[in-house]
Structure 1
Amino acid sequence: MKWVRRLAAISVIMACSAESVLAAGQLNLYNWGNYTSPELIKKFEERYDVTVTVTEYDSNDTALAKIRQGGHGYDMVVPSANVLNVWIDEGLLLESRPDQMTNFKNVDSRWVDVPFDAGRHYSVPWLTGTTGVFVNNSVYNGDPNTSAIFLDPPPELADKLIVVPEMADIMYLAIRYAGGEACTTDLTILKKVRDILAAAKPKWLAVDYGNIDQLVKGDFAGGANWSGPVFRARQQNPNLVYGFPKEGYPIWMDNLAILKDAKNVENAKLFMNFVMQPENAALNSAFAHSANGIKGSEEFMPADMRNAPEVNIPEEYRAAGRFNVACSPEAQALYTKIWTGLLK
């Protein structure tokens, strides 16, 4: 028994020593805008004496283009599930084996053997949520649970809508609204989608991410957006209502990964293991008002998140949601053609 205790003590000392060797230095995180908890960063910096720099991007396309160019200086990135396989296939990510890290046991089992990173050899969950619609019910008090809110808007909402410029999400919503399935290459469906989007766009005030303040102030009466930002805005403006389109909506997950050409690999691995700790994952959730894939994090979240519909999808709307996965190159090319034509 004494031998077992001594061995355990030696293991702890070695683990602490390893952390101290890895501590200190820099870490450069490339992440979505307004999507990283300052409290999480401060806690990590103080624990490991690592200075973290966060640089923000506005879309998966922007991030991928930047990293492909090289010479970026970033260590970590947070790609969405529907594009993560592209990062892996192009050799842009380090096979960091988070599945062998201490805190991997905290990852919810449904987010382990995922199609975009089977067994989690490259990435860990960052945040997850849905893409749906929202309305300000002081302007419109009809049913918000339909993509018609932005694809065939009622008169009250016309010219007062904002639509996020994220091709994968908006194409998903439009395809399902047109009666098609995700990742379809059916040209009949896609022509219908093109026409629906072309007719709807003149009724949009902006194709932009906007910001929380604009939603709170009522600069927009509705639109297509992610669950997290709408929840954050609703806390300040209770007239905002998030809707789950009955025609179908995507469930997304963003994932933390280490870049193949990272300069601070060991610090990046520390951070990856750090965010899999439940209380740390909860800091991110509390900031972005989105769920995460870490078991036990719920008990550390603010009370108002536990029953929020934006975080916990109501039972009656769950069947319409599907996980947003990568489409074939053929489908991607067709969608890009429609999308670029729409934005001209």
Structure 2
Amino acid sequence: MDILVENITKTYGTQKALDNLSFQVKTGEILGFLGPNGAGKTTTMKAITCYITPNEGTITVGGKSVHEVPDEVKSSIGYLPENNPLYLDMTVVDYLTFIGELQGVSKANIQAQVEKMIRLCGLNLEKHKKIGQLSKGYKQRVGLAQALIHDPEVLILDEPTTGLDPNQIIEIRKLIKEIGREKTVILSSHILAEVEATCDRVLIINKGQIVADGTPESLRKEAQGKELLKVGISTSERNEAYKALADLDEVETVSFIDTDASLFEIESGTGCSSVEAIFKMCVHKGWYITQLTPVEKNLEDVFRELTQGN
């Protein structure tokens, strides 16, 4: 089920939370939604799930308008908000049964659906415990289970791994990827490595506007710009090696990473590569190259460049 967001704007008094925002999410796609605090991520998710109404623009989920048929849209969406509100005095089974009834799961199917969610979310050993007795990780699992109880075609997850330990993050990440094979998923997170490992596509929002949209790999390549190399040379003449590298026409800047190991970071000139020139220079000097590897920007570098100053 596709999600189409077209030119939505949302203001709170004089503050513009969303500014003419547009994007589309395809069926079976896991979209990572990134941005600094206050960028508009949660506002966008609340608009898609019909919790708030934009001042301008349109949103359709599976071709249905959130303005015209909000109840139908809600029935097709599973939503896990950031604060994961739960009834702590209820057992896991009772809570999921209650949520299933609220979501319109038939009486004939509700027990089977609750059992399916308990199995899918790894809650079997905890199912008869009160939710208040569970760890943070298991509470998040319960939150995912309630979002999935009515078998929605769209899943909206706002910071689903907040407060989890590394093992729990890996488990929830695996679960989301399995779910994403069949459903449309929007995942908001501050953990960039998690987004990079989980999502098919990344959308970065800043000040209510989209500043980047693409796969993690395409965003890294787009931000790469000039060639950046890490070069190690086996020679005791470190200063001579530094000067020889700096004198190459293809090299724009050279800096020491480790003077003891003669390890350098080299930035090539615009539109060119200095790899061949470095090889030839080292052969001419009789030096061995101990390392020559490209330095790639990660998603954190891309995020920082696009949202810096906020």
TM-score, structure 1 normalization: 0.20
The higher radius of gyration belongs to 2
Higher relative contact order (CA 8 A, sep 6+): 1
Greater per-residue helix proportion: 1
Greater per-residue strand proportion: 2
